[in-house]
Structure 1
Amino acid sequence: MHERGSLTGRAVTAAAVSAVTLTSLIAGSPVAAADRASVEWRTCPSYSDDVIAAYAVTGEQRQRFRALLGRMECGSVSVPLDYRKPQGRQITIAITRVKAADRARRLGSLALNPGGPGGAGYLFPLQIASMNQVNARLNDRYDLIGFDPRGVGYSTKVDCPAMGGQPPEPGPLTKTAAQRAHDSGVARNRACANSDPAFLGRLTTLNSARDLDRVRIALGERKLSFLGISWGTWLGAVYRSTFPGSVGRMFLDSVAPVKFRLDDFEDGHAAGTERNFGRMATWIAQRHDTYGLGETAKEVRAKVQALSRAYDDKPRHYSDWEMVADGSTLAMLAIQSAPDWPQVAQAFKELQDEGDTAPPALKKLMSHGPQGAPAPGAPERFNPTAGQAVFCNEDPSRLGFSDAWATYQRRLERNPVTGRAVAFTAQCAGWPLPVQKIKVRRTGGSLVLSGHRYESVSLYEWTKQMRAAIGGTLYTVDDDMHGSVPREPECATDLVSYFNTGRIDRGCDGTPVPEK
Structure 2
Amino acid sequence: MPNPFRARATALTLTTALLLSALLAGCTDDTEDEDLTRQKLSWTDCPAPSDEQGGGNAPSPLPNGGEWQCATMKAPLDWDKPRGETIELALVRARTSGDASRRIGSLIFNFGGPGGSGVTALPAFGEDYAQLRTRYDLVSFDPRGVGRSAPVVCEDDEQLDEYFQQDATPDDAAERTEYLDETTDFNEACEKNSGKMLPHVRTTEAARDMDLMRQVLGDAKLHYFGISYGTELGGVYAHLFPRKVGRAVFDAVVDPTQTPEQGSLGQARGFQRALDNFAEDCASKADDCPLGDSAQDVKDRIARLLRDLEAKPIPGVFPRELTQTAAINGIAQALYSQDFWEYLTEGLQQAYDGDGRILMLLSDSLNGRNENGEYSNLAAANVAINCADDRPRYDVRYVERKLPEFRAASPLFGDFLAWSMLSCTDWPVRGAAVHPDVSAPGAPPILVIGNTGDPATPYEGARKMVQALGKGVGVELTYRGQGHGAYDSKNKCVQDAVNGYLLDGKVPASGTVCS
Q: Which residue of 2 aligns with 1:41?
A: 42
The residue that corresponds to 1:390 in the other structure is: 385
* Contact 2:110-2:140 within 8 A present in 1 as well: yes
1:399 counterpart = 2:394:
yes
- What amino acid is the match of 2:448? L
Structure 1 residues 136-175: aligned runs within 5 Å: 136-162=130-156, 164=160, 165=163, 167-168=165-166, 173-175=171-173
| CA shift in 2, pair 1:94/1:9, >3 Å | closer
Deviations 1:193-235 (A, max 9, x none): 3655443201111111111111111122111200111111111
Displacement, 1:91? 2.0
User: For 1:267-416, what aligned pairs fall within 5 Å after superposition?
Assistant: 267-291=265-289, 294-313=292-311, 315-318=312-315, 322=319, 324-325=321-322, 331=328, 335=332, 336-337=334-335, 338-345=338-345, 347-348=347-348, 355=353, 357-358=354-355, 370-373=369-372, 382-408=377-403, 410-416=405-411
Shift, 1:480, TM fit = 2.3
Deviations 1:376-424 (CA, angstroms, capped at 9, x unpaired): xxxx965443332211011122212322344456423542233355483
Instruction: Report deviation, 1:29.
Output: 8.0
Query: For the residues of structure 2 that align with 1:344 and 1:201, how far apart are their CA atoms?
Result: 39
- 2:117 and 2:147 in contact (8 A); partners too: yes
Which residue of 86, 93, 113 maps to 2:89?
93
| Distance across 1 between alignment mates of 2:189 and 2:293 | 53
What is the alpha-carbon distance in structure 2 between the residues aligned to residue 301 and residue 295 of structure 1? 11
2-structure distance, mates of 1:80, 1:170: 37
**Cα drift, residue 158 of structure 1:** 4.6
Task: State the secondary structure of the residue aligned to 2:65.
Answer: helix
- Whole-angstrom distance in 2 between the partners of 1:359 and 1:188: 26
- The alignment status of 1:417 with 2:412, answered yes or no, reads yes
Match of 1:465 in 2: 464
Change (3 A) 1:32 1:389: same
Residue 500 of structure 2, aligned match among 492, 497, 505: 497
Is the Cα contact below 8 Å between 2:322 and 2:360 reproduced in 1?
no
Residue 267 of structure 1: SS of its match in structure 2? Answer: helix
In 1, distance between residues paired with 2:294 and 2:483? 24
Quick one: distance in 2 between partners of 1:332 and 1:435? 26
Q: Which residue of 2 aligns with 1:480?
A: 482
Inter-CA distance 495–68: structure 2 relative to 1 (3 Å threshold): farther
Question: Counterparts of 1:421 and 1:445 in 2: how far apart (Å)?
Answer: 40
CA deviation digits over 1:212-263, x for unaligned, max 9? 1111111221112001111111111111111111111001110112135333
Structure-1 residue corresponding to 2:119: 122
Q: Which of 228, 231, 237 is the matching residue for 2:235?
A: 237
TM-aligned CA deviation for residue 464 of structure 1: 0.9
CA shift digits 1:74-100 (9 cap, x unpaired): 333322222222222122223233322
Tell me how far apart the structure 1 counterparts of residues 290 and 73 of structure 2 sit (CA, whole Å): 59
Q: Contact 1:288–1:294 (CA<8 Å) still a contact in 2?
A: no
Assess, with a 3 A threshold, how the Cα gap between structure 1 residues 167 and 405 changes in structure 2: closer, same or farther. Answer: farther
- For the 8 Å contact 2:153–2:193, the answer to whether it is kept is no
Aligned amino acid, residue 108 of structure 2: A
Map of 1:106 onto structure 2: 103
Q: Relative to structure 2, which stretch is displaced further, 450-459 or 496-505?
A: 496-505
Partner residue of 1:2?
8
Closer, same or farther: CA 252–382 of 1 in aligned 2, 3 Å: farther
Partner of 1:227: 225
Taking the aligned partners of 2:107 and 2:317, their CA distance within structure 1 comes to: 48
TM-score by length of 1: 0.80
Is 2:77 the counterpart of 1:81?
yes
Superposition deviation, residue 105 in structure 1: 0.8
User: Runs of 5+ in structure 1 lacking a partner?
Assistant: 11-19, 510-516
Q: Report the counterpart of residue 3 of structure 2 in structure 1.
A: none
Retained in 2: the 8 A contact 1:29–1:83?
Answer: no
Structure 2 CA distance for aligned equivalents of residues 494 and 342 of structure 1: 29
Q: Over alpha carbons, which structure has the higher Rg? A: 1
CA distance 1:433–1:318, shift in 2 (3 Å): closer
- Bigger CA drift: 326-335 or 39-48? 326-335
Q: Provide the rounded CA distance (Å) in 2 between the counterparts of 1:215 and 1:326.
A: 43
Aligned partner letter, 2:500: S
- Give 1:7-22 correspondences, 5 Å limit: 20-22=22-24
Q: Distance in 1 between matches of 2:365 and 2:197?
A: 35
Counterpart residue number, 2:4: none
Structure 1 counterpart of 2:429, one-letter code = L
Q: What CA RMSD, in Å, does the superposition of the two structures yield over aligned residues?
A: 3.8
Residues of 2 paired with 1:290 and 1:449: CA distance?
37
Unaligned runs of 5+ in 2: 1-6, 17-21
Contact kept? 1:229, 1:254, Cα under 8 Å: yes
Answer with 428-437 or 357-366: which moved more. Answer: 357-366
Q: Shift in Å at residue 182 of structure 1?
A: 1.2
Question: What letter corresponds to residue 206 of structure 1 in structure 2?
Answer: T
1:360 Cα deviation from its structure 2 partner: 8.2
The 2-side partners of 1:374 and 1:249 are apart by 40
**Aligned counterparts of 2:60 and 2:381: Cα–Cα separation in 1:** 29
